[in-house]
Amino acid sequence: MLLQNILLTSTPGVGKTTLGKELASRSGLKRLKYFNMGDLAQEGQLYNGYDEEYDCPILDEDRVVDELENQMREGGTIVDYHGCDFFPECWFQVVFVLRTDNSVLYKRLETRGYGEKKLKDNIQCEIFQVLYEEAIAF
């Protein structure tokens, strides 16, 4: 029997990476495999440009899907990403949307060196539950 695939989604800075790594380590015998989409994209250079406004690379979503496809078929995968809109729905049996207090999130993003616009937009995303609504529609 295949293990279920899990998507952890949230605004950056909420705790996806911390939770994903902890779940994978507690699953024992490496039964669950953890993939951070930022790390995967960086390792494989899965980008198709650079966003000057937000000072970050633009993910090549098609290449990311191609890169993960075989792993997702095997099951037992935890995926960490700040959205779910480009993943095939059939990949995930469980989706968790993580949340945190806005003042805590603000401090975390500020510590990461986020610019004012990027910081403001991410806080608004959390306030308006954008990723929660996206996951519900998923």
pLDDT digits (tens, 9 = 90+) for 24-34: 999 986 689 99
pLDDT digits (tens, 9 = 90+) for 38-75: 999 999 999 999 999 999 999 999 999 999 999 999 99
> Is residue 15 part of an annotated ligand binding site?
yes
**pTM for this predicted structure:** 0.93
CATH class, domain 6-137, is alpha beta
> Is residue 18 part of an annotated ligand binding site?
yes
Say if residue 1's pLDDT is above 70: no
- So what's the pLDDT on residue 2? 82
> Is residue 112 part of an annotated ligand binding site?
yes
Taking all residues of the chain, what is their mean pLDDT, rounded to a whole number? 95
* pLDDT, mean of residues 112-127: 96
- So what's the pLDDT on residue 116? 94
Domain residue spans in the chain? Answer: 6-137
Say if residue 85's pLDDT is above 80: yes
- So what's the pLDDT on residue 31? 87
The CA distance from 114 to 119, in Å, is 6
The CA distance from 94 to 114, in Å, is 30
